[in-house]
Amino acid sequence: MKTFSAKAEEIDRKWWVIDAENKILGEVAVAAAVLLRGKNKPLFTPHCDCGDFVVVINADKVRLSGRKEDQKVYTSYSGYVGGQKRETVSTVRGRRPELLVQRAVNGMVPHNRLGRQIMKKLKVYAGNEHPHDAQQAQAYEI
C-alpha cells in the first residue's frame, strides 16, 4: 500500500470571504490559517500548499478580548542601535488595520518558504469592499 501525497498543481482551490466585523481577532486568524493551509481538506499534505484563497473584509472592525487594545505591543527591531520600534494595537489600527489580521495569521502558518507562499493567498481589506468579485468567493462563517 502506497501513501498518497498531494501535489500543488492537483489541488482544486476555492475562494473564501471572512467578514471580521465584531469577531475576535484570534478566531478570524485561526479560520483563515486553516483555510490557507488546507488542513480542512482530506487531501492535506504537510509539505505541500494545499490551501484555498482567503479574503478578509472589515479588518478595521475586528475585536480583541480583554485589555489587549492598549496592552498588547508589537515590536520590530532593525538590527541597528536604537532601531527598536514598539506599537500598541490601537496605533496599528489607526495607521494600517490590515496588519492586525496579517500578523495574527502569519504567526499561525509555517515560518519557511511554504509559509511565505501560503501568505500570498491571504487578501485583507479594511472596508467592506474587495476587488475579488470575479472569483465568486463564498462566505465563510466563524
Domains, the chain: 14-63+98-139 (3.90.1180.10)
Q: How confident is the model at residue 5 (pLDDT cuts 50, 70, 90)?
A: confident
User: Strand order of the sheet with strand 15-19?
Assistant: 122-124, 53-57, 15-19, 138-139
Question: What is the β-pairing status of strands 53-57 and 122-124?
Answer: parallel
- What is the mean predicted confidence (pLDDT) over 85-94? 95
Establish how many alpha carbons lie within 13 A of residue 48's alpha carbon, considering only the half-sphere containing its beta carbon: 13
Mean pLDDT of 13-33: 97
Given a cut of 90, is residue 1 above it in pLDDT? no
Question: Which of 38, 28, 31, 53 has the alpha carbon at shortest distance from 7?
Answer: 38
What pLDDT is attached to residue 130?
96
pLDDT of residue 19: 97
DSSP classification of residue 24? B
Could you tell me what percent of the chain has a pLDDT over 90? Answer: 91
